[in-house]
Amino acid sequence: MELPRSQRLFAWLDERFNLSPLIDFMKKKEVPIHRHTIWYYMGGVSLFLFLIQLFTGILLLLYYQPGEASAYDSIRFIMNKVPFGWLFRSIHSWGANLFVLFIFVHMFSTFFTRAYRKPRELTWVTGFVLLVLAMAFGFSGYLLPWNELAFFATKVGTDIAGVLPVVGDAIKLVLRGGEDVTGATLTRFYAFHIALIPAIFTVFLGLHLLFVQRQGMHEPESVAGLPPERKKMIPFFPNFLLRDIFAWLIVLNVLLFLSVFFPWELGVEADPLAPAPSGIRPEWYFMFMFQTLKFIPPHVLGIEGEVLGVLAFSVAGLAWLLVPFWEIREKDSDRLKPMALIGFLALAFIIVMTIVGYLV
Amino acid sequence: MISRPKSYLFTLLLTAGLGYPAVAQDVPEGLQEDQCVVCHTDLEALPENFVFDNVHMRPRMSCAGCHGGDRTTDDEEIAHAGDFVGVPTAEAIPSFCGSCHSDINYMRQFQPSASTDQVSQYFTSAHGQALRQGDENVATCISCHTSHATLPASDGRSSVHPFNVPDMCNGCHGDAALMAEYGFRTNQYGDFVESVHGTALLERQDIGAPACNDCHGNHGAMPPGIQSIENVCGMCHVNNAEFFESTPMAVAFAEEGLHACEECHGIHDVAKTFDDMVGVGDESVCTMCHDEGDRGYEVADSIHAQLVMLKSVQDSAQVLLERVQNIGMDDVEISYSLRDANESLIQARTAVHSFEPEKTGELTDKGVESARAAMAMANEEIEGFRFRRFGFGIATLFITVLTVALFFKIREIESSRAS
């Protein structure tokens, strides 16, 4: 009896690529179900938002023209003349914010459930790099419409990078493509946004997903200790994937709602010769750092306050990246959980400083 | 480098040591050798309203430049001898000032393009002619420019700066006792400050708005005559004057001895114009001469209707534009179209002075067309906004149905697996 066409195709591929072990692996892959399962969806939602960014970004690329004289007008053209251009631009802008937000949620849920522990150290490291790259996506994309607010925020942002000792000036020069934020900065940020960062991001995302698939989902300690008969597991395919898609549809709906009812504004075209307007602020995910730098006195122990702040954030970021390698282990009987406390303080600091940044 | 106070002290010590007369501390640099300045400063005998910033207070000019005498000596008798003039009489002032200001060879040292016809113009003015006839109460050079606080007209402190001119003229023309001798009214300043010109100049600080001298002339100041009034207004309101001059109304006005412009718009109290000034309503100026049944009455009525029509369509389009802006839709093309409509309205209001409904109608029709185009575009944007919401509703419905279906599918899969 002749096999159906799909099976014949699979057999053809299997013969050449030996796919059967992979399919067997997928079939056997299971995901634990427990009261912390909801956090498993955060990574999937972040991935979904990244795909949306990729899709809408490519559509915007068809019309966007980088350049001091053309960037703003091309975005205006996209928003007003291109069919559904307003929607894709708005989805891209809102999507970027939700993307960073869900990565933050994903990271903190990973931190608090101790999912970074052996054997997932590199999954954590690649995840943190992806967060930094997502923020770099945001920073570079923010300037592309070449509006007043983005222009001055980029000026401030690159100035902050420039205060780093020894390498600061060089970093600033490379970021700006000159002494000041000009059209050269815009084309440079465009290159970062659509080529350099996506290329690096894709590598780290591939590694991150590979690690997750290879090692499976982490079980929190409260679940891992249970006997097998008390653990509830579901297959990754199709059960968990369908649950993932369920979450994606909800996020898609929210994204559409935000894009239609709160369309992302274009603002006023940047004028490098105009004085800086009041209320220059970075994107919300940089706000906690921006606000902290504003609070640090001009000089602390003979060191320039801003330099100290930037160094402190660099050290804190490095420490956060290396959490799996220096984690303070506590006993079950310990009432004080040092890592939970560190995580809580970091989260509280970010939330409070962000709110203060918008209120002050 | 020695700082200014230190340099004064240094000079004082040096000159005292050499037996030269002491120099007053507050005499500006460059005039410390000028004994007129030094003595009059020391004796506190400087003229009233004297300022050192005075354009004439410069080396080799200063006091002796006008009043004569010897500026190099501190001996009062020697200093005030020779060609010393002292205080000139009013009659002598034009030639006193003109001795320099009418001499192009002298003036071009300071201003290469300076005009030197002020004195000859002055004697063509009402002021100059009265002075010639021996009236010493009339304005001379120093009445406007001051005697010792003479500053360039571009200097905000100057009495002849555009913002200060109305007040300066009013110094004499608002003096009821003085003006009574000539039988002149004194309400010009009061009328002017309330007028469209006065509010633009004095309240909005619009330097382009006219002050007294822009209509009456500077040194050759004269009230404009019947024949010249439209030329005076026409210096700025060029199109209005051109339209008016080519109409039969201009001829009729001249025959009747009526002042063009002034009859409808007033003199110093020129008010901001409004569309109801034309037509046959209560505020119309046309009905001052035209009665129901005559041709002018009909013309006024139809021009008024055209303007009102355009303004009304333009207002409706403006309301729609604001709505488009409020909902965050594209307003660029609408604004351009509305700007065209507004331009047509301005042109039509100017063309009112042609008193030809065909001419004004052509412009108002064009404006109405632009305003209607703006309305159509605005309605399209508003419709587009509704479409977006409707589209979102459909998409949400679809996604929600899909989500619910997925939810049941997941339950089905998981319950079948559990069983």
Q: Which residue has the higher pLDDT, A91 or A232?
A: A91
Class of domain B298-393: mainly alpha
Nearest CB neighbour to A249, from listed B403, B409, B417: B403
Please tell me the least confidently modeled range out of A269-278, A320-329, B286-295, B404-413: A269-278
Q: What is the pLDDT of residue A35?
A: 87
Q: For chain A, which residues make up each domain, given as ranges?
A: 35-281
Query: How do residues A160-198 score in pLDDT, each as one tens digit?
Result: 989 888 899 999 999 999 999 999 999 999 999 999 999
Is pLDDT above 70 for B226? no
SS3 B101: helix
Mean pLDDT of B137-151: 93
- How high is the pLDDT of residue B224? 67
Mutate to test the interface with A, among B398, B403, B417 (most CBs of A within 10 A): B403
Contact status, residue A201 vs residue A133, Cβ threshold 8 Å: yes
Q: Which residue has the higher pLDDT, A278 or A56?
A: A56
CATH of the domain spanning A35-281 = 1.20.810.10
A-B CB pairs within 8 A amount to 47
AA identity, residue B71: R
- Paired strand residues for A147: A269
Residues with Cβ < 8 Å from B169, sequence gap 6 or more?
B144, B188, B189, B212, B213
- Asked if A253 lies within 8 A of B399 by C-beta distance, the reply is yes
CB atoms within 10 A of CB B363: 22
Instruction: Determine the average pLDDT of the residues in B112-135.
Output: 92
pLDDT score of A114 more than 60: yes
What pLDDT is recorded for position A265? 86
**E-assigned strand segments in chain A:** 30-33, 232-235, 299-300, 303-304
**Could you tell me if B392 lies within 8 Å of chain A, comparing CB atoms?**
yes
Asked if residues A197 and A135 have their Cβ atoms less than 8 Å apart, the reply is no
Identify the pLDDT of residue A19: 92
From the list A79, A249, A261, the residue facing B399 with the nearest CB is: A249
Q: Give B225's pLDDT tier (boundaries 50, 70, 90).
A: low
Q: What is the reported pLDDT for A1?
A: 62
pLDDT of B52 > 80? The answer is yes
- What are the respective helix, strand and coil percentages of chain A, to the nearest 5? 70, 5, 25
- What's the pLDDT score for residue B195? 96
The residue among B265, B266, B161, B151 whose CA lies nearest residue B205 is B161
Is the Cβ of B409 closer than 8 Å to some Cβ of chain A? yes
Residues of A in contact with B407 (CB under 8 A): 246
Q: Over range A125-133, report the average pLDDT.
A: 97
- For residue B419, the number of C-alpha atoms closer than 13 Å in the C-beta half-sphere is 5
Q: What is the mean pLDDT of residues B117-133?
A: 93
Question: Mean per-residue pLDDT for B270-276?
Answer: 94
Please count the CA atoms within 13 angstroms of the CA of B91 that sit on its side-chain side: 5
Q: Which residue did the predictor score with more confidence, B29 or B138?
A: B138
State how far the Cα of B330 lies from the Cα of B338, in Å rounded to an integer: 14
E strands, A206-356, where? Answer: 232-235, 299-300, 303-304
**Interaxial angle between packed helices A197-215 and A40-61, expressed in degrees from 0 to 180 and rounded to the nearest 10:** 150
Least confident among A21-30, A36-45, A52-61, A289-298 = A21-30
Do residues A295 and A176 make contact, with C-beta atoms less than 8 angstroms apart?
Answer: no
Are B337 and B374 in contact by the 8 Å Cβ rule? The answer is: yes
Confidence band, pLDDT 50/70/90 cuts, at residue A302:
confident
For the ranges A298-312, A320-334, B135-149, B361-375, the one whose mean pLDDT is highest: B361-375
pLDDT band with cut points at 50, 70 and 90 for residue B292: very high
B389 contact residues in A (CB cutoff 8 A): 260
Are B406 and A257 inside 8 Å of each other by CB? no
- The dihedral through the CA atoms of B178, B180, B183, B184 has a sign that is positive
Contact B392 A257 (CB under 8 A): yes
Crossing angle for the helix pair A121-143 and A85-112, nearest 10 degrees? Answer: 150
- In the predicted model, what is the mean pLDDT of chain A? 92
Query: Tokens 């960037």 label which residue?
Result: A71
Preferred mutation among A94, A240, A249, A251 to probe B, highest tally of B CBs within 10 A: A249
